[in-house]
């Protein structure tokens, strides 16, 4: 895997909008926030565009991202928000250009499709971490900031990944597994199945998180991953944050709990699995380097990242 250059204060970070649009007020706040954090900022054209539920046309959003990777002035790229739209631009990305100009790339949620493509096609380590409008402009807590900076500034092995105080990691299935961390948002991981960008989980540690989906929907998506062999091929499973994924409707008389879904579908596979690592749609939020080697000790509820995501 290619590790991008570590960032330092004063470097230029590009802000892109490969998914849904945001308000002009949030665009201004995002630029201001990164400057307050100590960076120079280059705004992508797509951050101020709107095409329905997308931040501009597919061509606009893909061109923006391609340009940022080819721009020698830009040392890192962060997404302004998620939403929807990245699967539509996968065919339009300049993967050769990205591979030849490896840079820090940060985002989560809908950005998962880009992480998978860049990890697999470009062999580039990317970062499952906070986005500017979603996580920074209305209060960037110290834990989330320190976790992000630890990943993008530090070229030493990251080591033990710890949850925020008061948040306990749970074991779904015991054991120890090693491999590169891959994945992200469950919906987007499932969306890659049957496409040229299908996630490869063989020998990997599979990270999964979700937001706002009821247990039966989580069940449906995990079942699809199981039937496709993606769960069984993994060396371990990291279940991140599941914000708002409790039963809401009365469509069924009684819903399974989220834990019951995990125990029904994942536990019988006897793959090392932990639950409630605070990475995903949560504050505070852990940043993880996707593509970096890690060890999951599910017996002791520990995740160790064995290398740095940057050089």
CA distances from 281 to 41, 173, 225 (A): 25, 23, 21
Number of H helices, E strands in the chain: 9, 14
209 has catalytic annotation: yes
DSSP bridge partners of 209: 185
96 has catalytic annotation: no
Q: Which among 109, 134, 147, 279 is annotated as catalytic?
A: 109
CA distances from 87 to 20, 159, 265 (A): 12, 32, 27
Signed CA dihedral, 306, 308, 309, 311: sign only: negative
Taking the CB of residue 248, how many other CB atoms lie within 10 A of it?
12
The DSSP letter of residue 2 is B
* Burial state string for 69-87 with b = 16 or more CB within 10 A and e = fewer than 16: beeeebbbbbbbbbbebbb
Alpha-helical regions (H) of the chain: 24-36, 58-70, 95-100, 112-121, 142-153, 186-191, 215-227, 230-233, 258-265
Q: Which among 128, 214, 281, 307 is annotated as catalytic?
A: 281
Side-chain-side CA neighbours of residue 143 (13 Å): 14
281 has catalytic annotation: yes
Tokens of 136: 């920074």
CA distances from 90 to 63, 93, 281 (A): 11, 6, 23
Kindly give, in sequence order, each residue whose CB lies less than 8 Å from that of residue 25, ignoring residues fewer than 6 positions away.
none
Q: Which among 19, 31, 134, 209 is annotated as catalytic?
A: 209
Which residues are marked as active site?
109, 209, 281
């Amino acid at each position: 895997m290619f590790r991008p250059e570590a960032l330092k204060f004063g470097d230029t970070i590009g802000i892109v909008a490969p998914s849904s649009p945001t308000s002009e007020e949030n665009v201004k706040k995002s630029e201001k926030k990164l400057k307050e954090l100590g960076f120079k900022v280059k705004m992508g054209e797509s951050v101020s565009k709107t095409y329905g539920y997308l931040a501009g046309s597919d061509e606009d959003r893909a061109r923006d991202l391609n340009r940022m990777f080819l721009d020698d002035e830009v040392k890192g790229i962060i997404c302004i928000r998620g939403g929807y739209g990245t699967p539509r631009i996968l065919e339009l990305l300049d993967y050769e250009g990205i591979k030849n100009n490896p840079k820090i790339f940060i985002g989560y949620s809908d950005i998962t499709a880009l992480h998978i493509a860049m990890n697999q096609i470009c062999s580039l380590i990317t970062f499952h971490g906070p986005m500017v409008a979603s996580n920074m402009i209305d209060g960037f807590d110290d834990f989330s900031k320190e976790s992000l900076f630890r990943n993008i500034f530090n070229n030493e092995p990251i080591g033990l990944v710890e949850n925020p105080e008061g948040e306990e990691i749970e074991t779904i299935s015991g054991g120890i597994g090693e491999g590169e961390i891959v994945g992200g948002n469950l919906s987007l991981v499932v969306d890659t199945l049957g496409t040229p960008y299908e996630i490869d989980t063989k020998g990997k540690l599979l990270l999964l998180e979700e937001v706002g989906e009821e247990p039966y929907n989580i069940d449906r998506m995990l079942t699809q991953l199981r039937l496709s062999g993606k769960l069984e091929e993994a060396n371990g499973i990291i279940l991140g944050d599941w914000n708002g994924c409790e039963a809401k409707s009365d469509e069924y008389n009684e819903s399974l709990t989220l834990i019951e879904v995990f125990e029904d579908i994942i536990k019988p596979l006897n793959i090392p699995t932990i639950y409630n690592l605070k990475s995903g749609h949560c504050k505070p939020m852990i940043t993880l380097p996707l593509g970096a080697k890690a060890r999951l000790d599910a017996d002791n509820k520990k995740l160790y990242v064995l290398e740095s995501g940057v050089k």
